[in-house]
C-alpha cells in the first residue's frame, strides 16, 4: 500500500518521543518533518533518530532566511544529512534562494511563501502587499524562477499557486486539519481532502496526529480517508 502524501510534523518535547512518533507513523505516511525547535535542541542527531531503519523521507523545516552567502553555507552544512526537503523563506529573495539550490543539489529546496499563522491584517502591518493570495502568488513565481522546485503555501492559496507555476513544482501545505480538529495557531486552514483536491502534493499535519493517544492509528485513519476521497 502506497504511503499517504503526508509529512507528520514531529514537534516533540524530546528526541525519544520524536523517534517513537516517527516509528509509529512511518508505515502510513511518506515523510516526517523536523522543525526548528527540535533541530536546535538536538542538532544533526535528530535526523538519524527519526529516519531510523525505515529510511523515511525527512523534511527539514528550518526556514533559512539570511544573506545569500550565509544561507549557502547553512544549506551546504545540512545537505550532508541527506534531508529530502529543506525550507528557505521566499522573502529572502531570488539570490538567496538560488544560493540554497546550488549549495544543496541533492535536496529539494522548498520556498516558504507566507506563513499560515499570518492573517490579512498581519500582512498589512508588516508591509507585505496583499491580499494573501496575491502576495503568495508573487513569492511563488519569484521562487520558481530562482530555482526552487517546491513551495510552501496555505491550503487557501494552493489553487492560485498551481495556476501560477504549473505542474512539476511540489506544493506543500501546512495548516491542514481533519474535520473537527482545532485550528490552534494556524489561521488559513483546510481539510486534507480539500487541500489535495485543490492541487497540494504534500500535506503537513502535526498535532491532529501526534496529539492523538495513538499517533499511528491517527495517521492510518487520515491516510485511509485520503484514499477513499481520491480518484477511483
Catalytic residues: 63
Per the DSSP assignment, residues forming a β-bridge with 111 are 88, 151
Rounded alpha-carbon distances, angstroms, from residue 84 to 1, 120, 166, 213: 21, 32, 22, 28
The grid coordinates listed for 137 are: 502568488
Which residues, other chains included, contact 178 with Cβ-Cβ below 8 Å and sequence gap of 6+? 191, 192, 205, 208, 222, 225
Contact 15, 49 (CB under 8 A): yes
Cα torsion at 96, 99, 100, 105 (round to 10°)? Answer: 160
C-alpha–C-alpha distance, residues 100 and 96, integer Å? 6
Amino acid at each position: 500500500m502506497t504511503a499517504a502524501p503526508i509529512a507528520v510534523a514531529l514537534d516533540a518535547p524530546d528526541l525519544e518521543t520524536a523517534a517513537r512518533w516517527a516509528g509509529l507513523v512511518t508505515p502510513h505516511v511518506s515523510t516526517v518533518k523536523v522543525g526548528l525547535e527540535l533541530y536546535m535542541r538536538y542538532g544533526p542527531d535528530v535526523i538519524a533518530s527519526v529516519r531510523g531503519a525505515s529510511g523515511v523521507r525527512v523534511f527539514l523545516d528550518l526556514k533559512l532566511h539570511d544573506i545569500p552567502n550565509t544561507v549557502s553555507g547553512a544549506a551546504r552544512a545540512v545537505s550532508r544529512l541527506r534531508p529530502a526537503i529543506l525550507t528557505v523563506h521566499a522573502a529572502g529573495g531570488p539570490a538567496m534562494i538560488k544560493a540554497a539550490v546550488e549549495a544543496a543539489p541533492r535536496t529539494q529546496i522548498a520556498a516558504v511563501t507566507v506563513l499560515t499563522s499570518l492573517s490579512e491584517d498581519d500582512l498589512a502591518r508588516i508591509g507585505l502587499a496583499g491580499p494573501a493570495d496575491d502576495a503568495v502568488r508573487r513569492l511563488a513565481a519569484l521562487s520558481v524562477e530562482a530555482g526552487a522546485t517546491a513551495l510552501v503555501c496555505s491550503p487557501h492559496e494552493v489553487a492560485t499557486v498551481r495556476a501560477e507555476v504549473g505542474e512539476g513544482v511540489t506544493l506543500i501545505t501546512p495548516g491542514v486539519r481533519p474535520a473537527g480538529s482545532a485550528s490552534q495557531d494556524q489561521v488559513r486552514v483546510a481539510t486534507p481532502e480539500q487541500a489535495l483536491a485543490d492541487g497540494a502534493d504534500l500535506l503537513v499535519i502535526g498535532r491532529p496526529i501526534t496529539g492523538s493517544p495513538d499517533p499511528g492509528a491517527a495517521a492510518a485513519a487520515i491516510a485511509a480517508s485520503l484514499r477513499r476521497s481520491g480518484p477511483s
